[in-house]
């Protein structure tokens, strides 16, 4: 693609500037987007040495935010390297991705917010993951929300209801 100023504003359908989209398919319920990171690793993950040798690749499915009411899966062409110094191998670290969950960071954040006011099952359905994963994400994020979320203070809620002895007398 020619890099004009205008095109650079809209990097790709993912709106993730760190990725190049290489293919795109749409089905009734899903988007399948093939992509790769624009900038591959430039130093060994183990020792920091800059001389790396390409050592294969694999496709990793990364879940992303639902788009236009459809589930989104990004098939990331992930490169593997071998370090010329320590000889260890590693896969490139994918930008904007929670590597432990194989989801975009923005999806993890979105699930955490949605889980405050929706059922885990409905969120899991929207994203195309199992309910247990939604529960784990909510559990990981909820310590930060203890002071704000009404869902984490059910007793306080009951107390408020039982003591509001109505204006109807």
Q: Where on the chain is the footprint of Zn ion (CB under 5 A)?
A: 44, 46-47, 49, 83, 85-86
How far apart are CB 92 and Zn ion at their closest, in Å?
A: 14
How far apart are CB 42 and Zn ion at their closest, in Å?
A: 12
Contact 53, 81 (CB under 8 A): yes
* CA 26, chain centre distance (Å): 20
**Which helix H or strand E contains 137, and what residues bound it?**
helix 131-145
Q: With 0-12 CB in 10 A as exposed, 13-18 as middle and 19+ as buried, what is 97?
A: buried
Q: Which is nearer to Zn ion, 47 or 121 (CB)?
A: 47
Q: Which is nearer to Zn ion, 83 or 123 (CB)?
A: 83
CA-to-CA distance for 123 and 160, rounded, in angstroms? 29
Give the residue carrying structure tokens 């999806």: 107
* CA 113, chain centre distance (Å): 13
Give the residue carrying structure tokens 């004009």: 4
Q: Which is nearer to Zn ion, 48 or 156 (CB)?
A: 48
Q: Which is nearer to Zn ion, 7 or 47 (CB)?
A: 47
How far apart are CB 53 and Zn ion at their closest, in Å?
A: 11
Q: Which is nearer to Zn ion, 45 or 141 (CB)?
A: 45
CA-to-CA distance for 144 and 163, rounded, in angstroms? 28
Contact 43, 49 (CB under 8 A): yes
How far apart are CB 86 and Zn ion at their closest, in Å?
A: 3
How far apart are CB 98 and Zn ion at their closest, in Å?
A: 24
């Amino acid at each position: 693609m020619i890099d004009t100023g205008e095109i650079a504003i809209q990097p790709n359908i993912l709106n993730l500037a760190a990725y190049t989209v290489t293919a795109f398919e749409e089905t009734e319920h899903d988007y399948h987007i093939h992509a790769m990171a624009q900038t591959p690793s430039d130093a060994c993950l183990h020792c920091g040495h800059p001389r790396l040798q390409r050592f294969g690749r694999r496709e990793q499915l990364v879940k992303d935010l639902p788009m236009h009411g459809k589930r989104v899966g990004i098939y990331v062409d992930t490169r593997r390297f071998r370090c010329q110094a320590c000889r260890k191998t590693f896969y490139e670290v994918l930008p904007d991705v929670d590597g432990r969950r194989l989801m975009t960071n923005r999806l993890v954040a979105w699930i955490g917010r949605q889980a405050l006011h929706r059922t885990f099952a409905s969120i899991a359905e929207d994203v195309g993951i199992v309910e247990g994963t939604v529960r784990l994400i909510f559990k990981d994020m909820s310590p930060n929300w203890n002071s704000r979320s009404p869902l984490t203070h059910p007793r306080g809620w009951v107390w408020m209801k039982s003591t509001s002895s109505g204006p109807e007398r």
